[in-house]
Amino acid sequence: MPKVTDDYRAERRREIAAAAMRCFSRKGFEGTSMADIIAESGLSTGAIYLHFKSKHDLVRQVVLDVLRGRSDDLIGLVALDPMPEPTVVIRRFVNGMGHDLGGPSILVQVWSMAAREPELAGLISELIAELRRLFSAYFERWFAQHGLDGAAAAARADALVPMVVGICQGYVLQAAIVPDFDPELYLAAVALIDFAAVPAPAAAAAPTPPAPAAAP
């Protein structure tokens, strides 16, 4: 019998995850059964369960694949010279998420599931932390190209990244649930933000010395 290689296993997992994503896009996570995924993949039941124990395992794999794909995209953007402007990076990130997921509603469903499932919540937290680190690396280098020294650039980047992640999350949420959401108008508004003007975080205030004791 030919030996099954790690590359073959990885490719088969990606194939199954892609079939699951198509089902999730059509029917949502809750409405999709393992039978749906098996039929979509064209593989046998045994072949599916050899790689994934349950639908939730597949959900985790899909989330992992999508967010890793966005991580790879950010790594590529950080390496460009000259670097693209922040609005270009944000546009590419949210458009990439929509393309990978087949629509923003899937990500909102993932957030809902994560609120009920600690293991999935932990995975998403780890991946978001990695995305924040990559956004921070981008902004640190971008600020450096705009004349800030290393420490100042790092401080500005760390202060800015939570807002940038919130902008991306806000885009996804509104695109999923607001009927008349205009993505181009949203991204045009993001372009009005002067990211270079974001102030550095204030230094921690020095402790107030104790008042002198009253004279007896």
pLDDT tens digits, one per residue of 87-125: 999 999 888 887 777 778 888 888 888 888 888 788 788
Spatial contact of 47 and 105, defined as CB atoms under 8 Å apart = no
- Residues 55 and 37: their CA atoms lie apart, in Å, by 9
With b for 16 or more beta-carbon neighbours within 10 A and e for fewer, the 104-136 pattern comes to bbbbbbbeebbeeeeebeebbeebeeebeebbb
| pLDDT above 70 (res 200) | no
Query: Which domains, and CATH codes, for the chain?
Result: 7-53 (1.10.10.60), 55-197 (1.10.357)
pLDDT tens digits, one per residue of 151-170: 999 999 999 999 999 999 99
Which whole number is the average pLDDT over 52-71?
Answer: 82
Residue 161's pLDDT is: 93
| pLDDT above 80 (res 47) | yes
| pLDDT above 80 (res 204) | no
Which of the four pLDDT bands, split at 50, 70 and 90, describes residue 8?
A: confident
Residue 206's pLDDT is: 41
Residue with tokens 């046998």: 44
For the chain, the average pLDDT equals 84
Which whole number is the average pLDDT over 116-141?
Answer: 86
